[in-house]
Structure 1
């Protein structure tokens, strides 16, 4: 088995597999006007998803995250989870969801083989949640998260985008949220994309506002696991949960990159904020596993040292729903 190692010595154990570009939320920082169909919705089939996962697993990837858009808009999501979980070498099957109908769906996902759940919650204030997402579903989303905990799902996390409108009031609410819940809340520093330049200029705040706030209240940094994503997580003895930060503008953010992405249309993305991608769809359609592994390995040679967000260059990423964030 060949390991996935790029020209900078980084090893890749983590694949983010987008299964749709469609999202049913209208988040201000991503899809403020809602999802707009710009091409036929010819996304990877469950069999093609399995072939992607199998190829990466044979190259040393053990953690798969299913993303969107919003992955739960696909009715065959349980089948995709089950196929992913059955691939030899895959030890973690994760999903990132906005929580739409999570309370009704999580049991089926867990039974299909889901091990890790990430739920997007940008605010615990009902009115703010509605303003950001376009939907009055906060109570339902939290109910779904609590159901996941009651079912014994061991790795439950919350993602929230760090924006100026919700900073410190949000920190207070979320730390209280994790006082009794054993979940990790991770704030993601707002990233500039092709479509959100004006919003970014108005709402971006550096991740240090969070880490400084936590440090002043006795929170300490938690060690990272080898297949963790980019979050720096902090813990406190008085709280069951954790608070984390994903800060793509921080120095050295890309140095420990351990993840690759495949889009819902079968393109290998070497960087979320890169240009174009390497097409895999033709090999997935005909089930050519050896050729697929070779193409992936060759593509990895072109992975850049890091993104160019500091130069205001987000590549060809128009909005995060396009490639699954």
Structure 2
């Protein structure tokens, strides 16, 4: 008998498989797969002191493990995978990872979020390996300010990388810009001028209160509502959101090739439309993108023949923890309490099993998990 949290979504190869759905009826079509924690930029809002190793590079997911975990989620309805970091392109086997994930035709979109450092050199090889979409971070079009924000004097190199991406055959490039008061919030007109003749989706992302960034947040946070009102006055219109799209509110204008997206995590009901899960670079499944608690999956990804149909019953009453970007003081103001961690009864079924092994009713408990989680082999 199926769990009440599993909803039938599709038929693949004659086998009915459940769509990943949580207790709030949110369906998860989108997996963010981190492949490294290493980054060579020192962005003020992320790694102001530079990267400090927290894991040995050899402990990050291998290409085979990346293939297995993406295949498992694809069997449960995932249509889009985004490779993240750190900076993914610093992996020497990055194109191998792209090819490994792209082996599965059920993954319709394979994207990367990058700082653009190596795009000019490698965009064509990424495209050849199977990458279908690129997001690149550019927080200012002013080279001096870009250098101050990132710690790298590489704006021209990143811009050349965007040109290389278009030359390689990418039809659109998304540009992520962290919105900061008195840093770049007055550059909207310059950004709009830049994207007018180019198929670039410029995405303003609200600065979030994470980790040690409280002081910067209080100094520089600006609601995306400021940009939204300006766009609406200029005749931009909001577009419908696809089921595997990210969280951006996307606006278009008849006179522009480019688009503008707004990611506003403190806006009311932001969490209600979440369709994403995250797997960390060391193989932990995170049910909230901003949560530190994770369900370890790594030992279930050792080889192709493993039998793993996992139903993770997360014991929320003993591990409840609000995501760091949403402190209690801001939850009341913005009404954005992340619902994932509230009374969570979550289905995280991963299938890496031949059909005949799914008939067992065995239960498997990972006793040494840092946060209690029970995994069941479930009849399908």
Q: CA deviation at 1:213?
A: 1.3
The offset of 1:156, in angstroms, is: 1.4
Return the TM-score normalized by structure 2: 0.78
Note the alpha carbon deviations across 1:258-299, whole angstroms, 9 max, x for none: 0100000100011122241100011112446542x414x545
Q: Where does residue 156 of structure 2 map in the other structure?
A: 139
TM-score, normalised relative to structure 1: 0.91
Q: Deviations over 1:82-141 (max 9, x none)?
A: 011111311111000000021101000000001011011011111110000001110110
Partner of 1:164: 181
Are 1:37 and 2:53 counterparts?
A: yes
CA contact (8 A) 2:127 2:169 kept: no
CA 1:298–1:61: 2 relative to 1, 3 Å: farther
1:264 aligns with 2:281: yes
Distance 1:56 1:130, change over 3 A: same
**Structure 1 CA distance for aligned equivalents of residues 172 and 315 of structure 2:** 29
Aligned to 2:232, which of 206, 212, 215? Answer: 215
1:175-196, CA deviations, whole angstroms, 9 ceiling, x for partnerless residues?
A: 1111000110001101111121
Structure 2 runs not aligned, ≥5 long: 1-16, 331-336, 339-380
Measured in 1, the distance between the counterparts of 2:55 and 2:259 equals 40
Distance in 2 separating the partners of 1:6 and 1:301: 13
CA distance in 1, matches of 2:316, 2:306: 19
For the 8 Å contact 2:139–2:177, the answer to whether it is kept is: yes
What residue in structure 2 maps to residue 274 of structure 1? Answer: 291
Choose which of 78, 81, 99 in structure 2 pairs with 1:61. 78
Contact 2:63 2:97 in 1 (8 A): yes
Give the stretch that moved more between structures: 193-202 or 12-21.
193-202
Alignment of 1:37-186 (within 5 A): 37-41=53-57, 42-186=59-203
CA distance in 2 between partners of 1:163 and 1:274 (Å): 23
Larger radius of gyration between Structure 1 and Structure 2: 2
- Secondary structure of the residue aligned to 2:18 is coil
Give yes or no for the alignment of 1:224 onto 2:241: yes
> Are 1:12 and 2:28 counterparts?
yes
Unaligned runs of 5+ in 1: 316-325
Q: Secondary structure at the match of 2:166?
A: helix
- In structure 2, do the counterparts of structure 1 residues 290 and 176 end up closer, same or farther at CA, with 3 Å as the change threshold? farther
Contact 2:283 2:297 in 1 (8 A): yes
Distance between the aligned counterparts of 1:94 and 1:277, measured in 2?
23
Displacement over 3 Å in runs of 4+: 286-290, 297-304, 312-315
Single out whichever of 30-39 and 278-287 deviates more from structure 2.
278-287
* Alignment: residue pair count: 313
**What is the distance in 2 between the residues matched to 1:148 and 1:264?**
25
Q: Displacement, 1:168?
A: 3.7
